[in-house]
Amino acid sequence: MVDEELVIFHRIRALLDEHHFAYQVMEHEHVHTSADAAKVRGTRLEEAAKALVLQAKDHDKVYFFMCVVSGHKKLDLKKIKVLLHLKNVSLADPNDVLKVTGCVVGTVPPFPALFSLPGYADSGVFENEHVVFSAASHFKSIRMLVRDWERVAGVTTSGLS
């Protein structure tokens, strides 16, 4: 694990421990997609929470924010623009994701509050009892109760997908 990834992983665990939440750390082989992750984790794809960093441009300013969607869904940029009253929205460049979160694309944990980002979660994430997500690594994931995750993640619920 890269040093920054390890720091973020420990920040997540410290946050969960501070609130006395039960969670399971899963170590697994390197994965690239939510479907592959569900297979190696032995979890359902619907339980996965994908964290996507987006950017919005307003005149000369660029704003970053995070959207969290269920593993079996795709992010709908048109819905985001309407829901958030934004015009110029796109996925953030991988270099910007690394600068903003310290994580490479595909390893960003769904905790916008950890990165001081505004965060939005699709309602589909809450349709399951548990949520499982990348823990700042292609090799580590965490599974926990979705209601506990919601309490500390820093997300607002909306229909993003």
Domain edges within the chain: 3-158
138 Cβ contact list (under 8 Å, min separation 6): 30, 31, 32, 106, 107
Indicate the average pLDDT of the chain: 91
Rounded Cα gap, residues 50 and 71, in angstroms: 6
Select 3-158's CATH number: 3.90.1170.50, 2.60.210.10, 3.90.960.10, 3.40.50.2300. Answer: 3.90.960.10
pLDDT band, very low/low/confident/very high, at 1 (cuts 50, 70, 90): very low
Residues 74-99 have pLDDT tens digits of: 998 998 888 888 889 999 999 999 99
- Answer with the residue of higher pLDDT: 116 or 31: 116
Q: Identify the pLDDT of residue 59.
A: 81
| Mean pLDDT of the 57-62 span | 86
- Answer with the residue of higher pLDDT: 17 or 160: 17
Rounded Cα gap, residues 151 and 24, in angstroms: 17
Residues 111-132 have pLDDT tens digits of: 999 999 999 999 899 999 999 9
Least confident of 56-60, 126-130, 133-137: 56-60
